[in-house]
Amino acid sequence: MRLRSLTVFVLSAICCAGLQAQTKRGLDTTTFVVMGEGLAAGMANYGLSATYQNFSFPAQAAAQMKAALVQPLIQPPGIGDVVGYPGQEVRLHTYPQGSVRQFYYTGTSKTSSPPIFVQNLSVPGLTLADSVSLRPVAPIAQRDMKQTVVNLILGFPQLFLDRVPLWSQFEYAKGLVPSVVLIELGYYEALDAAVNLDPARLPNPATFGATYGSVVQGLRAMQAQVIVTTIPNPLDTAYFSSPETAAAITATNPFVITGGYNVTPQDYLTRNALMTISNQFTAGAIAPLPAGSVMKAATASALTAGINALNAQIVTAAKANGAVIYDLAGFLHTVKLSGTTAGTSTITADYLGGFYSLDAVYPGPTGNALIANNLLSFLNSTYSKTYPLIPVSAVSSNDPISTYKKPRGQLHTASTLGIQ
């Protein structure tokens, strides 16, 4: 943990140094566009739907900046796969869905269709490479969930009108002639490597950097202001728990976790491991965990090093093209280390701690409000703005995710579980 904290501190210092070298100028939010994946889209609780999209951190920040941000709202129960969980079968018009893409209301009348052009272009499951190459294709419903979601978000009006180009996310962003673009990309690649316990799945840093640089350069060439975010480390999410944290969540002591499951204090247990452990405790006996339940310390270190290498490429690309760097990774690491407050309550990044939704990798409304406030504070400082912060207590009071409670009851001990 100390090593990870040091690397985040060094990265933050690099980001700050880069900012000082950039020319500060006014922030023009006339046309605010977002390029991202599930985090910026507002994905939560295993899917993307309007229930949480309006609480995405870009949407909440845009409201405080009084900047328009049209979103491709999806009717509940939502669409999209969550990394680390089985993929879903593509089925359109799943009850109670109607049009899937939600209609917008203007006054008392419903518009004739969902908005054709949107500004939050974030697509769950999208990688940086996808953002420059993956385009909508007919028909809308494909066997592949990612392609179907791309079609629903980026395929209007391209799939319905003749002689309209089919745009990738990057091409779509340029087509809107943005005044400012927020880029949140790379997180899906980090999640994919983390949940598969395989740092080798991370993209090659040089290749990643070249593509990222081309995106930033292309947007800056249009005179757009660009704000890039660093990639959060999945170890800072609720999907991964230290043995000590896992013990607190499953109502036992760390010895039961380390001794009963043959893990060290430096290892991590996955969200799925927590479910298995809880079920075993309920049955009164433990058994070996399924494959993929534990990330060993060496793997965690390699994953962190790989993500740091990608973030270094983001910093380099931003500095080379005059973009601004928001250290999203640093903020989420701070939340993991010490938690944060939401009104009079303390929420944490632990599973059921209030910051992350049940999927354990995407924040709920309160978590997104806290990210938005951190982003707004950064923009206020960087651009000498006075954007008001979100009253987080008002968000958390209507957010069931922020009030999730860890299981309570009898403490499971080594003797009650038959561990000597």
pLDDT per residue as tens digits for the range 335-369: 999 999 888 888 999 999 999 999 999 999 999 99
d(CA 1, CA 236): 10
Q: What does the pLDDT read at residue 282?
A: 84
> Which pTM does this prediction carry?
0.89
Question: Beta strands 345-347 and 340-342: pairing type?
Answer: antiparallel
CB 295 within 8 A of CB 268: yes
> What φ, ψ does residue 111 adopt, rounded to 5°?
-70, 165
Q: What is the mean pLDDT of residues 119-126?
A: 96
Per CATH, the number for 2-84+118-132+170-403 is: 3.40.50.1110
Structure letter (DSSP) for residue 313: H
CB 342 within 8 A of CB 45: no
Write the Ramachandran bin of 392: left for phi over 0, alpha for psi from -120 to 50, otherwise beta.
alpha
Binning pLDDT at 50, 70 and 90, where does residue 140 land?
confident
C-alpha distances out from residue 153 to 35, 64, 96, 349, Å = 12, 24, 20, 29
If one compares 107 and 384, the residue with the highest pLDDT of the two is: 384
User: Which residues share a beta bridge with 346?
Assistant: 341
pLDDT per residue as tens digits for the range 205-236: 999 999 999 999 999 999 999 999 999 999 99
Q: Which stretches within 22-93 are classed as H helix?
A: 38-41, 50-53, 57-65
d(CA 347, CA 94): 34
Contacts of 41 (CB under 8 A, 6+ apart): 48, 53, 56, 120, 122, 123, 124
Q: What is the mean pLDDT of residues 267-295?
A: 93
Q: What does the pLDDT read at residue 110?
A: 55
- Give the closest residue to 392 by CA, choosing from 354, 353, 344, 342: 342
Lookup: tokens for 166: 């089919």
Binning pLDDT at 50, 70 and 90, where does residue 139 land?
confident
- Give the closest residue to 31 by CA, choosing from 8, 65, 76, 73: 65
User: Which residues share a beta bridge with 60?
Assistant: none
- Give the closest residue to 198 by CA, choosing from 302, 297, 277: 302
Q: What does the pLDDT read at residue 17?
A: 43
pLDDT per residue as tens digits for the range 156-191: 776 777 777 889 999 999 999 999 999 999 999 999
Q: Quick check: helix, strand or coil at residue 324?
A: strand
Binning pLDDT at 50, 70 and 90, where does residue 20 land?
very low
d(CA 190, CA 194): 6
Q: What does the pLDDT read at residue 206?
A: 98
Q: What does the pLDDT read at residue 106?
A: 44
d(CA 9, CA 156): 42
Q: Which stretches within 28-141 are classed as H helix?
A: 38-41, 50-53, 57-65, 128-133
Q: What does the pLDDT read at residue 89?
A: 57
Q: What does the pLDDT read at residue 159?
A: 72
